[in-house]
Structures are given as C-alpha cells and as structure tokens.
Amino acid sequence: MVRTRFAPSPTGYLHIGGVRTALFNWLFTRRHGGQFILRIDDTDQQRHVEEALRPILDGLRWLGVEWDEGPDVGGPYAPYYQSQRLEFYQKAVQRLLEVGAAYRDYARPEEIQAEREAAQREKRPFVYSRRWMAETAEDARRFESQGRQAVVRLKMPREGTLVIDDLIRGRVEFDWSQEQDHVIQRADGTCLYHLASVVDDYEFRITHVIRAEEHLSNTPRQVFIAQALGYPLPQYAHLPFVAEPGSRVKLSKRKLDKYLKNKEFAERVEHGRRIAARLGLATELEVFNPVVVDFYRQVGYLPEAIVNYLALLGWSLDDKTEMFTREELIRHFSLEGVNKAPASFDPQKLWAFQDRYMRAVPMEKKIELVLPYLEKVGWVSAPASAAVRQKVAQILQAAGDRIKTAGDILDYGYFFTPDDRLEYEPGAIEKRLRAPGVADRLRRFAQQLAQVEPFEPAMLERMMHDFVMAEGIKLGDIIHAVRAAVTGTTVGLGMFDALAILGRESCLARIERALQYAV
C-alpha cells in the first residue's frame, strides 16, 4: 500500500510551491491506489498561526486534493498534529540516547558560536568538539551545577558516506563528516522537526516521502535517526523548486515588490486587487498575495485550471500535451516524468489555462460560479430568483470571454444597481455627457428608444442607425453618450446588448437622470 503525506506548517497561507508538492503526492498516491495523509507540522509553537490552518485545509479541498487521513477526517494513526504527539517523540529521544545515537549537550549558545568562529578563522569546516557532552550521569550533574541546561543532539558519524537512491535525482551521496550534531530536543523538552518528522513517517507507515528539494540536505540526519531507531526507510523523491517568473531563483512570498516589475505578474495582481476591493477584502500584498493559493480562490479562478497548470510545473507527459482532466493526470502521472531543474512560475501561462477552462464552462455552471460574488456584495439575494438567473445568463452571454474569472462579474455592477443610485465615472460625465449638443441629442434619442419594439439588440441597433441617419451625425456622437448615461462608464459590453439587458424602463430612467449632468 502506497502511503504518502503532505505536512504543512500553519505559519502562513499555502504557497504555490507547497500546493504543487501536495498535488504531486496526491496524484502519485491516487495512481497507485494508495492513501494520502495530511499532517500538520506545528512543533514550532512560536511560529504557529492558528488562523492560517483553515485556509490551508480549505485551499486543498477547493483544489480537490482530498486527504484520506488527517485533520477533520481522522484516521487510525491520530492525532495528526505534531503538537499533540509529544509522547512519541520523547520515547524516540530516550531510545536514541540509550543506543548512543544522541547525547545531552550542555554547551551555551555563545560557546558553540565561539567554536564556529574559530573554525572560520582557521579556514576549516566547523565540527563541534562535543566538549560539553554529558557521557555519564556524573557529567550531567557537574554541568547542571554550573547553571547549564541540556539540549539533546544527534551523535552523527564523523566518517564514511551515505548513499540514497532518490526516485527523481537518482544516486545521491552525502559525506558524513560534513554533517553537524543537530539538536533534536530543546532544553524545554520540546522536539524539533527533524526528529518529529521521522517518527511520524514511521508511525503513519509512510512509504514514499515526496517533498521539495530544499529538504534534500535534511535527509542524512533523518536517515541517521531512522536507522538508529530501527525504522525501515521510506523511498525519497525530491521535487525541483518552483522558481520566480522567468528565473531559476526560488519563488518567495516576500519578494512581491520584485515580481511586480514583471508586467504580466503586475497585471494579474491588479486584476485580483480590483475584485478584492469590490468584495471588501484586504488588498495588501501581505494578505492578498498571488504567490499563495487563496489569492486564486478569492478571485474566482477555476480549481481545474490551477491543478492542470501546477501539474506541469516540473512534470510533463510528453513535449506537446498540456490539457489534462483530473482523471488523465492520475492515469499518467509518474515520478519518472518529473524534471530535476527548477520550474518557473508563469502567471500569464496560468491565466491562459484559466481562460481556456472558463470558455469551456457550460452556462448553467457559470451562473453558479458568479452568483456567490453577486451575493457577497449584496447585489442579489440568495437564493437567486429565475429573473435574476436569466439576467445573469444574459450578461454572461453578452460578456463572452471578458468573464475570465468568476469575480469578473463584479465589473458589471451597473446591471444590478437601482436606477436612482447609478454612479457616474468622472470621465463619463466630462467627456461624454457634457460635450456640446449631447443633452438635446439624448432627449431625442430617448423619445425614439421609448417606441422600439421588440426591445432586443437587433432592433435597438437598427433604431440607432436610423437615428444617426436622421440626425446627420456620426455613430460616435450618440453611442458613447448613451453608454455613459445608462451604465455610468465609458467601456463595457456591446451597447445594444447592454440596453436590452437593462430593459426599456431602466434605460429611459437612467437617461433622464443623466441629463442633469449634461449641462
């Protein structure tokens, strides 16, 4: 039975790279009919962010990356929070001490630092002298009488080579002499990630550890712990990291100022901010961050598009296939298809996937996608009436591929605004409504508009054509003023579609109201 795990720390929103790691674990597990476990690595209580856990769980579920065991679902190896598993780690520490694979160290931080600085001055690798290692109970009492407190360190080998067969990187060798005596338990008794991770991987029966390549350097100490405790080793697979746009540098949540110099990245951020602002959400980049998955959930991307794009960040089936259903990804995914080189995150490529997927969404589903956004801003009530659904369908049909994310429906608020509350953009007033002759022209146009039958796009277009001919003017002399009058904006859907969706009564009321600005 293949068993994999994804083990995020609840210290912030879920990073795109972390989501990709979770997805690869999930795809590998589903292909082999195994079980995918979600474990929360919250050993570092100082960094724990309680409110960050829910977006992690919600984000994975939104993407369809469901776990078989873990938070909210339980399982035979519960609990799945490391902060609740301290007894397991304490037993492991005691066993490592008993077999001589670890020791209690009473060195003060400044003493360790002094040894490290001495090695730097002498231009040699730093290797701890173990001067304050307590080999006996008498040693421990002596050090404690000096007011010292002990941590527990691994007693790493000082010679030889570790060889592992990584499922992505092949044969990887580590020189034991380059490894430090890593701390596995603090003076306050809490245990560190490296020990906890190894113990939990064993206790949860994990068969494959598929993780980001920055953990490759952690592998020797974790293998040492596992072997000292008599655990069978899982198979390791270290994924290439997700890089910055057009770069081979790791993508970071903290470098957004740099990324915003990328035109495509900046466009996606501005698009998301516009939607977030209309929803009343925080738009500061620390919160509304396009390097975290929650950004795309709030803006209204399709999870299918995100999954398809992320699957191609470091993996490929061949040199031409890009579009995959979830079932096809499960059927084709393999670690053999994962590259060793970093995969550059391309926001424009993701946008292209979103566009393709959104175009393919049936109208009824598209209505269901956008209605929650209209409800959040109070433009429609839930459940939506048949009349509201029909209006939304008309807007979506007229907008076509302008609606690239579900949140884009908020660009068309003027269809849901009461006629007497329509707001006019300053540019619409100055440029379109206050131009010479516009007021009288709008009055005459309204008279014609009141008589159009049926009030449909084709007839409205014919009427406007006839009006232009009768007035002896250009189309631009009236159509822009009409748009400003009925929508309050200077851009939007096709004018005749917009008029038909608003309906005769609203159009006439809005033109009448706009005339007060056309002076």
Which sequence positions are flagged as catalytic? 253
Strand, helix or coil for residue 26: helix
Which residues neighbour 270 within 8 Å (Cβ) at sequence distance 6 or greater?
none
- Rounded CA separation 260/286 (Å): 14
Cβ(479)–Cβ(485) below 8 Å: no
Q: Where in 146-274 does DSSP place strands (E)?
A: 151-154, 161-166, 170-175, 183-185, 208-212, 235-239, 242-243
What is the per-residue DSSP string for 69-82? BBTTTB-TT---BG
- Rounded CA separation 27/334 (Å): 8
Cβ(376)–Cβ(347) below 8 Å: no
Which residue carries 């003017």 as its tokens? 473
Q: Which two tokens stand for residue 434?
A: 């206050």
- Rounded CA separation 78/38 (Å): 11
Crossing angle between the packed helical segments 495-502 and 386-399, to the nearest 10 degrees: 180
Cα distances (angstroms) measured from residue 387 to each of 121, 384, 391: 79, 8, 6
Sign of the four-CA dihedral 215, 218, 224, 229: negative
Crossing angle between the packed helical segments 219-228 and 86-98, to the nearest 10 degrees: 80
One-letter amino acid identity for 357? Y
- Rounded CA separation 326/307 (Å): 8
